[in-house]
Amino acid sequence: MDQSQEQAGLGARRLAWNAVTETLKRRVPLDDVLDELGQTENLSSRDEALARAIAIVAFRRLGTIGQALRDRLDKGARDERLLHLLAIGAAQILYLDVPDHAAVDTAVQLAQGDHRLKHAGGLINAVLRRVARERDAILSANDPWIDTPTWLEEGWVSHYGEPLARQIAEAHRTMASVDLTTKDNAAGWAERLGGILLPTGSIRLTERTAIRDLPGYDEGAWWVQDAAAALPARLLRPQAGERIADLCAAPGGKTAQLAAAGAEVLAVDRSAKRLERLEENLARLNLTVATLAIPAEKLDEEPFDAILLDAPCSATGTIRRHPDVAWTKDEQDMRKLAALQSRLLDKSASLLKPGGRLVYCTCSLEAEEGEQQAEAFLNRHPHMKRDPITPAEIGGMAEWLTPAGDLRTLPCHLTLPDHDRSGLDGFFAARFVRSVE
Ligand SMILES: C[S@@+](CC[C@H](N)C(=O)[O-])C[C@H]1O[C@@H](n2cnc3c(N)ncnc32)[C@H](O)[C@@H]1O
């Protein structure tokens, strides 16, 4: 390795290290932190990808890695920066195709460049070499609950029962696939892209390639959207010419579906910055919608034919994609979000025409943000009725429906012959209709 490659490798590890620390300290999404800190590192796209891969797997296996380090460190070693540096070293040794010596040497070099850790090189070298020697023993401890915070484990076991909850935790150890939603001709695009046409109409890519280089990207024929995330907008049954409000719209995956169906869409989001991204995304797709950057609670508009409320939530249904979610959110955050969801649901009911449809959804596995929210809403609004979803609307996947007729997908659902391509995001969706008074 020449000097410039050596330094580039070091930059990737420094970015991963800082991103783990900042994500946990600020409790913000890892993706945002990587984007922000990446600007100062000036890395090649290969090194940026390496930094991302290290940080993601460190979060995906944070419990296992933490235990492995605790077992090999003196009780006194509490310095968080040291622990995070060891964690990104162990993540590479245990889960990535990185030579052990590269993981150990870069961690030691990073410590030497840090005024507080410059004397910790010997300790880091010893601990990481032990992790490498004892890799098989560490990896053979295979209880998925170790990588799940207790509050999530308790909630899932109580709502889904232990066996299904365990399958969810196991699914969180795998990487999510990349799915696409097409404007039309999904079967034709699946063939052209060499992807799998899923029963719900999404396409699952079978190769990990740069999305922008795929056919159809420049012409705006499709967009990236998990197969489960593609269901709520379809369940709203958007019709050409209908006035539809998408109340928490950015970055616009579901807005694009509504617009592609020919509806006249008002895309609302409280974040002007995220709405800018929505506008860029829709411009690539040659789709037009109206946008409004305000909190949806403040929306003052004539009643709509239909409303999609993809409410802000704990996002625990996306842990395979964003494993940091498990370690940056807690029960209190979830309860605050559940209160906001209730307010947004109430606002949605007030903005519907008689006979109007509402689909409420969250990418959460928590019953408080899904099933319980739907029941409480029906109790508060006697003029709103549940419109049960049928298996035919979701590709025949009857097991994705609750007894009440709501959608409940789990990361362990959708078993495909190729195990690595199985799974989908955890989503809840319920459809309601306002009675004609
Ligand atoms: C789950 S994301 C929406 C994803 C989007 N529907 C899609 O499919 O691409 C939730 C969005 O709600 C927005 N948000 C949060 N609180 C809001 C509020 N009170 N009113 C409107 N938007 C809000 C956030 O800025 C975020 O963009």
> Does 191 fall in a domain?
no
Ligand 1 pocket residue status of 334, Cβ below 6 Å: no
CA-nearest residue for atom 1, ligand 1, is 312
Say which CATH number the domain at 300 has: 3.40.50.150
Q: What are the tens digits of pLDDT across the range 135-189?
A: 999 999 889 999 999 999 999 999 999 999 999 999 999 999 999 999 999 999 9
CA of 42 to the centre of ligand 1 (A): 31
Domain end (from 118, 142, 166)? 142
> Is residue 8 very low, low, confident or very high in pLDDT (cuts 50, 70, 90)?
low
Same domain, 274 and 418: yes
Q: Whose CA is closest to 135, among 95, 190, 165?
A: 95
Tell me what pLDDT residue 415 has: 87
Q: Is the CB of 245 under 6 A from ligand 1?
A: no
What mean pLDDT is predicted for residues 331-348? 97
Instruction: Please determine, for residue 76, whether its predicted confidence score (pLDDT) is greater than 80.
Output: no
> What per-residue confidence (pLDDT) applies to 40?
87
**pLDDT-based confidence at 7, cuts 50/70/90?**
low
Quickly count: other Cβ atoms within 10 Å of residue 12's Cβ. Answer: 24
* 3-state DSSP assignment of residue 20: helix
User: Given a cut of 70, is residue 3 above it in pLDDT?
Assistant: no
Mean pLDDT on 190-212 = 94
> How much of the chain, in percent, has pLDDT values that exceed 90?
91
Q: State mean pLDDT over 218-232.
A: 97
Domain-embedded: residue 305: yes
pLDDT at 2 over 50: no
Instruction: For residues 253 and 396, state if they share a domain.
Output: yes
pLDDT of residue 22: 98
For residue 103, what is the domain's CATH number?
Answer: 1.10.940.10
* Final residue of a structural domain among 93, 127, 142: 142
412 is catalytic: no
Supply the pLDDT for residue 77.
Answer: 72
Is the pLDDT at 1 greater than 50? The verdict is: no
Does residue 92 share a domain with residue 236? no
Which amino acid, 245?
Answer: A
What are the pLDDT digits (tens) for 77-87?
789 999 999 99
Residue 253 Cβ < 6 Å to ligand 1? yes
Distance 342 CA to ligand 1 centre (A): 14
Confidence at residue 419, expressed as pLDDT on a 0 to 100 scale: 74
Predicted TM-score of the model (pTM):
0.95
Determine which one of 313, 361, 363, 412 is catalytic. 363
For residues 22-38, give the mean pLDDT: 96
In this structure, is residue 313 part of a structural domain? yes
**What pLDDT is stored for residue 142 in this prediction?**
83
- Same-domain check for residues 261 and 136: no
Q: How far apart are CA 39 and CA 31, in angstroms?
A: 13
How many other C-beta atoms can be found within 10 angstroms of the C-beta atom of residue 325? 22
Q: Mean pLDDT over residues 92-111, rounded? A: 96
| Other beta carbons within 10 Å of 196 | 17
Q: Given its phi and psi angles, is residue 27 left (phi above 0), alpha (psi -120 to 50 degrees) or beta? A: left
Q: Would residue 314 count as lying in a domain?
A: yes
Q: In sequence order, what DSSP letters do the residues of 41-71 get, joined into one string?
A: H---HHHHHHHHHHHHHHHHTHHHHHHHHHT
Same domain, 138 and 237: no
SS3 354: strand
Boundary (domain end) residue, out of 142, 161, 176: 142
* 3-state DSSP assignment of residue 201: coil
Q: What is the mean pLDDT of residues 332-358?
A: 98
The angle that helices 100-112 and 3-26 make with each other, rounded to 10 degrees, is 70
Q: Is 252 in the pocket of ligand 1 (CB under 6 A)?
A: yes
> Residue 289, Cα to own-chain centre: how many angstroms?
25
Residue 181 DSSP SS3: strand
Tell whether ligand 1 has an atom less than 6 A from the beta carbon of residue 269. yes
Ligand 1 center to 7 CA (angstroms):
39
Overall domain count for the chain: 2
Distance CA 190, CA 174 (A): 23
Q: What is the pLDDT of residue 166?
A: 97
Q: How far is CA 426 from the centre of its chain?
A: 9
**Atom 18 of ligand 1 has which residue's CA nearest to it?**
295
Q: What is the mean pLDDT of the chain?
A: 95
Alpha-carbon span 85 to 266, nearest angstrom: 46
Through-space distance between the first and last CA atoms of the chain, rounded to whole angstroms:
75
Residues 242 and 361 in one domain: yes
Q: Is residue 251 in contact with ligand 1, taking CB distance under 6 Å? A: yes
Which residues make up each annotated binding site for S-adenosyl-L-methionine? 248-254, 269, 310
Residue located nearest, by CA, to atom 6 of ligand 1: 249
Domain annotation covers residue 185: no
Rounded Cα gap, residues 384 and 165, in angstroms:
32
Same domain, 384 and 274: yes
Domain that holds residue 26: 3-142
User: For 378-433, how does the pLDDT look when each residue is reduced to its tens digit (9 = 90+)?
Assistant: 999 999 999 999 999 999 999 999 999 999 999 999 988 877 789 999 999 999 99
Closest CA to ligand 1's atom 25: 271
Q: Do 242 and 352 reside in the same domain of the chain?
A: yes
Encoded tokens for 210: 């740069």
Residues 125 and 235 in one domain: no
Ligand 1 pocket, mutate which of 235, 266, 269 (most atoms under 8 A from CB): 269
Is 163 contained in some domain?
no
Identity of the residue numbered 66: G
Beta bridge partners of 361: 310, 429
